[in-house]
Amino acid sequence: MRLSISARAARRAIAVLATAAIASPALANDVNVYSYREPDLIKPLLEDFTKSTGIKVNFIYAKDGLIERMQAEGANSPADVLLTPEFGLLTRAKEAGVTAPNTTADLSTAIPATLRDPDGHWFALTRRARVFYVSKDRVKDTDLTYEDLADPKWKGKICTRSGQHTYSVALIASMIAHNGKDKAEAWLTSLKDNLARKPAGGDRESVRDVQAGLCDIAIGNTYYMAAMQKNPEQKAWADAVRILFPNAGGRGTHVNISGMALAAHAPNKDNAAKLMAYLASPAAQKIYAEGNSEYPVVAGVEASDLVKSWGELKPDSLPLAEIARLRKEASELVDKVQFDAGPGS
């Protein structure tokens, strides 16, 4: 039986790796994956999993709407595993009731407690650091903190994306956790005043504006450096900046994650557990982290030479579950200080 796909979802579903349809009944040798993460980024992993286990992976990708789709499908959902490129979607999926605990010992052993849901609903697969891309020509500092972004010396010199973007919300939530809500609000207000422009675009566009001289510091995820270096049109942006790891001398640099969750009504639960265990294995971690220029989450698996060339990451040890708890407060602060209205507002 073929899945029904709405017109909106059909426009966004761009790849199926094993079959053109996902069957609703449990199939002894299949596992059904719903993914917000683009197919090219995880195709090598899924192909290796199939080669190793003989389990066929049926894969549906959509840029958005998968959580809502799983809600609409209810108990009849064919989804076994949900893959996401960022943390906010994992917490949304749990809150929406479309995930279930995976309490297998291998996952709890492989994934550090700070990088998984205490109830077993979601697990990190890779980490990326939220760093500063600073101008090679105009910024001589080698040791900066997130708190330093509020310093008047940076007035008109910082570029970033929307404060309501999931990456920004997570960083602000971490600031609340470390410094308290009142101090985080004062910090966010001062950061807004130091912006060179209204928050807009993505991380790469912020780096572009550093290269253009509009700002001196861009806030962005580490893996964008690799993406820009591989893109002939963006390589000059990457060449104009260096990565600086905030709070490296103190609590450590904020990280966010890509991750996975077991679907609440997984018809192929055993195979789903096998796929999740595989994705947390050292072999898969190496393939995944190197392919995406991200940091592995499993101890003993090293980052790629390219990633290591950016400098040593000392990650903040704040549990992601604590960040999840504070995301709503962080989002409310963004609106309260009118962060996205930009400086002077």
Number of domains in the chain: 2
Please indicate, yes or no, if residue 326 is contained in any of the structural domains. yes
Query: What is the phi/psi pair of residue 31, to 5°?
Result: -145, 135
- Say if residue 337 is in the same domain as residue 213: yes
Give yes or no: residues 223 and 326 share one domain: yes
Same-domain check for residues 46 and 177: no
Statement to judge: residues 120 and 54 lie in one domain: yes
Residues 291 and 163 grouped into a single domain:
no
- Region 130-158: mean pLDDT is 98
Same domain, 221 and 333: yes
Residue 39 sits in the same domain as residue 55: yes
Dump pLDDT digits (tens) for 47-64: 999 999 999 999 999 999
Q: What is the CATH number of the domain that holds 227?
A: 3.40.190.10
Structure confidence by residue, pLDDT tens digits, 27-54 = 568 999 999 998 888 889 999 999 999 9
pLDDT of residue 140: 96
Dihedral, CA atoms, 290, 175, 330, 112, nearest 10 degrees?
40
Cα separation, 326 vs 166, in Å, equals 12
Give Cβ neighbours of residue 204 (< 8 Å, ≥ 6 apart). Answer: 220, 224, 227, 228, 234, 237
Q: Are residues 154 and 216 in the same domain?
A: yes
Residue 309 placed within a domain: no
Residue 101 and residue 36 share a domain? yes
Query: Which of the 8 DSSP states describes residue 5?
Result: -
2 domain residue, yes or no? no
* DSSP string of 141-190, one letter each residue: -S---SGGGGSGGGTT-EE---TTSHHHHHHHHHHHHHH-HHHHHHHHHH
The answer to whether residue 1 sits within a structural domain is no
pLDDT 10s digits, 88-102: 999 999 999 999 999
Please provide residue 311's backbone torsions phi and psi, each rounded to the nearest 5 degrees.
125, 170
Instruction: Residue 80: give the domain boundaries.
Output: 7-126+255-304
What pTM did the predictor assign? 0.90
Mean pLDDT of 92-118: 94
Q: What pLDDT does 27 receive? A: 54
